[in-house]
Structure 1
Amino acid sequence: MKNKWNALLLAAAAAACVQADAGRPNVLLIIADDLGLGDVGCYGSKWIKTPNIDRLAAEGIRAMDAHSTAAVCTPSRYSILSGRYYHRYPRNWNGEALIEADRPTIASVFRDNGYATGYFGKVHTGWGEPSKDRKHRQDLDWNRELPRGVLEMGFDTYFGTPFTHNEPPFVFVKDRHVVGLDPDDPLICIPKDVERGPWGWGASKGAKAAHEARPVDQIDLIVTEKAIEFIKGTAGKKPFFINLALVAPHVPVAPSKDFKGRTELGWYGDFVEQMDWCVGQVFQTLEQLGQADNTLIIFTSDNGAIFHKEYLAKGQNSNLDFLGQKTDAWEGGVRVPFIVRWPGKVPAGKTLEPLISLMDISKTVWAAAGIMPPAGASPDALNQLDLITGKTDRAIRNELYMIGITGTALRSGDWVYIPQQGSCGITTLESATWAIQLADLGQTNSDYNVDGTLKEDAPGAQLYNLRNDPGQSKNVIRDYPEKAAELAARFKEVSKR
């Protein structure tokens, strides 16, 4: 009798666990790479069709004031994963694993609460330990089991590119090993100061089979298939958290042959439409498995778009009317698309006006799953669940510190303060002769002449009111000296590590 009761109790406990898991949402985070607001149909793209992303927006919310914490990949993704400002990292990054092994991440908290966790696609947060002997980012032995990396951030499995797809090594990694590697044909990484390689970031040589396993025009297609395999193997057994990090439309712009010629914009538009197709394939899988309505889906980009001369000439305004581009602390570098679909919880077809940061994703999705994070997890993040579910329409976040490649900005309510001249990125960086700069963008800023040169009497710092001037056309720092002084003092506080 005692054994019978024990068996019944175990069965009841198992049933309770299944029921509890059934009530917890899956979470799918899809991050595009360098995708601007103007590249997405529901945000106003004229040249590119994105029906699958648009469907997510039609069945969910679309944020109009979503921002990354940085205008380039690595610091933005660090903040998403750790819920922490990148400038708090204590050293200059040289390719090591950025997130400390004992620091809670968005994935580790899910895993510790019974979720299956998978990372698929581009990872740009490093491998191994920091060392003064490390000569460059890729200075590892790629022919052995890889050191601390994605799995130590809380993911059960990983498949993707070990850095961005224009940085060596140009291979796929599965968990801790390079895919397709032949021990008799070792992989060799060459730093950019020795050989610039195909895209200026160095080269990888040897390892013929491993390089062939990652055709540049198939990366997102292969990565998406791996994510789908994970969903099929996990759905219905336990809830899952997936970080799907697509490489489009980051350079090299390389759509597959099936997508070339889809748009009048050329390969850039084709690449974005291929990315949208990948989003559709994942969503279709969720529908087929009966998981679409119990999956909280977030679609976003790690930073704003970078401009390409040939597409800009055709009228493609990837960042809409926001000033600047990727690398800049101006709005064009950090304002991003942000869409959330979660039927029955998130209202359909609604736009959100308040400020949202990608850094807030972790605390928001943990709250959606009913998870209480451990002390110290995501210290700079805010829980935006009440905003995205329509329980409030008031701003939860009023301040955000944002990084460009040569400077930083502070958002405070409607105000943006920048304690220096220029875009804090390539748009006004004289040495970035390869980039499209301010004079060629067709954008205006009161500190600059029509030819893109800085005016002699331009203030040494900048202040903009985004409610009155979302395009940051007029620096009003001399009109509001008290507000400038207030934000300058606050900037000094926030910028401390």
Structure 2
Amino acid sequence: MKKLSLLYLLIALIFSCTAPPKKESPPNIIFILADDLGYGDLKAFHPNSKISTPHLDRLAAEGMIFTDAHTTSAVCTPSRYALLTGRYNWRTSLKEGVLTGESQALIPKERTTVASMLKSKEYETAFIGKWHLGMDWGLKVDSIEQVGKGYAADFSLVDFSKPVKNGPTVLGFDYSYALPASLDMAPYVYVENDQVTQIPNRETIDEGEYSWWRKGPTSPDFIHEEVTPNFFNRTIQYIQSQSGQEKPFFLYLALPSPHTPILPKEEWQGKSGLLPYADFVMMIDDYIGQVNRALAEAGLEENTLLIFSSDNGCAPAAGFTQLVEMGHLPSAQFRGHKADIYEGGHRVPFIAKWPKQIQAGARSEHTISLVDFFATAAELSGYEVGENEGEDSYSLLPLLLGNTPSGEFREATVFHSVNGTFAIRKGDWKLILAPGSGGWSYPRPNDPVSKDLPEVQLYNLASDPGETTNLEAEQTEKVEELKSLLAKYIRDGRSTPGTPQANDPFEGEWKQVWFLEK
């Protein structure tokens, strides 16, 4: 009997030694995307910022900051497309500008998104906030063409009682609570899981200096001042609901703020001593602190990757010029602002916190892009990216884990301005395929001064971060090198290694395509 006991013990020891180690649980992922927040607005990125952001500063101290992070575009719709798809926005039919509240869906249901990818890997997925990627409204007429274009759309032809098609739930989100577009673009309704929560029964408009929004149909439950708090409160409730759940979750909180209308709650008004924009940023910062606290109280903080960034730079409508005069630089040392091809248009704050894996106080100076979120989520979840998925996305996971590559993290990065101007960055060199800003700062497109300027701009950002000295005449070989690389990226339908892919069909000529023919 004693021999049998010893035998059983030996067998147990053998199996305990050879049993595979317990599989690591994949992290929860939360991506919080601010709207029109400048690189220089946070002290973690610009110590001379005059806006108090203690909670975001703490997030940065507890996690990792990327000092050279960028959006793919200097305006919101294109950047949001790239974030979710891992593909440059200019590969779609949207070659300039942004969508509006009545625009049709930009992302086809066949396109893999971060949400559909993570859902296939057993994640619960949720979207809360500003969508601004188009959705197909139910109509009282037979064709979307009858609804109208631009901000003067005839919303009387929209049947708000019908389900919305091709919104977030079709693209992989199990739950969705969406504002269709920007907070200053009608219709002013919430769309929860493809259904408007309340039918619009009034029209609203505001013409304040900072709080303005366009006239349009508004639901009884839609109060502009409460939209940002509502999204944060629902985010906190969602986090609380995930406590103790077996499945990991992905939550994308897409804020409509501090974009116009600039609507800080009463208790935050005047707190900054600057302008309402700064008050609004302080309010958002406080809510970020509440989200962080909710994660800790739910027992989810340790294994949650929380990312905070912005969809482009600070906007002129925030009172950009006045803020600069008051000593606050929303773009820090960089040139330009929202809409521009200059750094102020697309260089943004980027913070990642994951206590289980990311070293507190870490910092990376590698050039990254929001388009890289797709490949990062894929590597985190064990998803194998196909040839026609995430064509422009590189995984940030090695950088997050402190495995710094010896060379460049990504070969090159492409940017786009509001009017479709291209720029490409490789190492310290940035080539702009236009004589001016391509946006809203001087020299604007079609400004008479542009005819006397070189047709391209080349800057060395290491020695000239403010993009003040155009070196295109002295560095002709570098100009041609970057032109050729950008042309290759465009023609190949991808900028990552792999089989060339097709760009989306487009009727018309690409803006700035002239350089492809030279």
Q: Shared fold by TM > 0.5?
A: yes
Shifted more, 113-122 versus 70-79: the winner is 113-122
Out of 411, 435, 443, which is 2:425 matched to?
411
Aligned-pair CA distance for 1:461: 1.1
Identity %: 34
Instruction: Kindly indicate whether the alpha-carbon contact (under 8 Å) linking 2:28 and 2:305 is maintained by their aligned counterparts in 1.
Output: yes
In the other structure, the counterpart of 1:285 is 294
* Of 109, 120, 130, the match for 1:112: 120
Give the Cα–Cα distance (whole angstroms) in 2 for the partners of residues 274 and 454 of structure 1: 41
Change (3 A) 1:142 1:220: same
In the alignment, structure 1 residue 175 sits paired with structure 2 residue 170: no
Amino acid at match of 1:222: N
Match of 1:343 among 344, 349, 355: 355
Q: Partner amino acid for 1:378?
A: G
Aligned to 2:381: 369
Partner of 2:305: 296
Moved more, 45-54 or 100-109: 45-54
Which residue of 2 is the match for residue 483 of structure 1? 478
Contact 2:125 2:173 in 1 (8 A): yes
Aligned to 2:308, what secondary structure does the other structure show?
A: strand
Say which of 92, 95, 111 aligns to 1:103: 111
CA distance in 2, matches of 1:28, 1:149: 20
Q: How big is the shift at 1:313?
A: 2.3
- Structure 1 residues 418, 431: CA separation in 2 closer, same or farther (over 3 Å shift)? closer
2:327 matched to 1:324?
Answer: no
The answer on 1:467 being equivalent to 2:470 is no
Note if 1:253 corresponds to 2:265: no
1:279-301 per-residue CA deviation (whole Å, 9 max, x = no partner) reads 11111111001100110011100
Q: How far apart are 1:29 and its partner, in Å?
A: 0.3
Q: How does 1:121-270 map to 2 (within 5 A)?
A: 121-128=129-136, 132-136=145-149, 140-181=158-199, 185=201, 202-205=214-217, 210=219, 212-237=220-245, 238-270=247-279
What is the CA-CA distance between 1:200 and the residue it aligns to? 8.3
The answer as to 2:289 corresponding to 1:271 is no
Work out the CA distance in 1 between the residues paired with 2:345 and 2:331: 8
1:38 aligns with 40
After TM superposition, give the deviation of residue 366 of structure 1 in Å.
2.6
* Per-residue CA distance 1:223-242 (angstroms, 9 max, x = gap): 01111222222232121100
Separation (CA, whole Å) in 2 of partners of 1:61 and 1:226: 26
Choose the corresponding residue for 1:423, options 417, 437, 445. Answer: 437
Over 3 Å counting, the alpha-carbon distance change for 1:393 and 1:349 in structure 2 is farther
Question: Which structure's CA Rg is the greater one?
Answer: 2
> How far apart, in 2, do the equivalents of 1:174 and 1:495 lie?
37
Give CA-to-partner distance per residue, 1:106-137, whole Å, 9 cap, x none: 01111111111111111110002995555226
Deviation at 1:163, TM superposition (A): 0.5
Alpha-carbon spacing, 1:232–1:364, altered in 2? closer, same or farther (3 Å): same
TM-score, normalisation: structure 1: 0.84
Alpha-carbon distance change, 234 to 344 in structure 1, aligned in 2, over 3 angstroms: closer
Q: 1:419 to 1:266 in 2, by over 3 A?
A: closer
CA positional deviation for 1:428: 2.5
Structure 2, gaps ≥5 residues long: 1-21, 138-142, 492-502, 504-518
Tell me by how many angstroms 1:180 deviates.
2.7
SS in 1 for 2:302: helix
Secondary structure of 2:413's counterpart equals: strand
In the alignment, the residues of structure 1 paired with residue 386 and residue 453 of structure 2 have an alpha-carbon distance, to the nearest angstrom, of 47
Q: Report the count of equivalent residues.
A: 447
Contact 1:61 1:352 in 2 (8 A): yes
Amino acid at match of 1:55: R
Q: Which of 410, 414, 422 is equivalent to 1:397? A: 410
Q: Distance in 1 between matches of 2:445 and 2:432?
A: 21
Structure 1 residues not aligned, in runs of 5+: 1-18, 433-451
Once residues 477 and 44 of structure 2 are traced to their aligned partners in structure 1, the CA distance between those partners, rounded to angstroms, is 39
**How far apart in 1 are the matches of 2:386 and 2:241?**
29
The alignment's TM-score, normalised by the length of structure 2, stands at 0.81
* Cα distance in 1 for residues equivalent to 2:445 and 2:368: 33
RMSD of the TM alignment (CA)? 2.7
Q: Name 2:449's counterpart in structure 1.
A: 454
Mapped contact 2:212–2:260 kept (Cα < 8 A): no
Q: What SS class does the counterpart of residue 258 from structure 1 fall into? A: helix
SS in 1 for 2:449: coil
Is residue 2:55 matched to residue 1:52?
yes
Distance in 2, matches of 1:50 and 1:240, equals 27
Distance 1:42 1:387 in 2: 19
Cross-structure match for 1:67: 70
CA distance in 2, matches of 1:155, 1:456: 48
Give deviations 1:67-113, integer Å, cap 9, x for gaps. 10000000000000111111111366671111110111001111111
State the shift of 1:170 in Å: 1.8
Amino acid at match of 2:422: T
> Does the CA contact (< 8 Å) of 2:212 and 2:261 recur in 1?
no
Higher alpha-carbon deviation: 321-330 or 37-46: 37-46
Q: Deviations over 1:457-476 (max 9, x none)?
A: 53221111111111111000
Structure 1 pair 150–456 and aligned structure 2 pair: CA distance change class (3 A): closer
Larger deviation: 460-469 or 82-91? 82-91
SS of the counterpart of 2:330? coil
Query: 1:357 corresponds to which residue?
Result: 369
Shift of 1:322: 0.6
Q: Contact 1:87 / 1:495 at 8 angstroms: preserved in 2?
A: no
SS in 1 for 2:306: strand
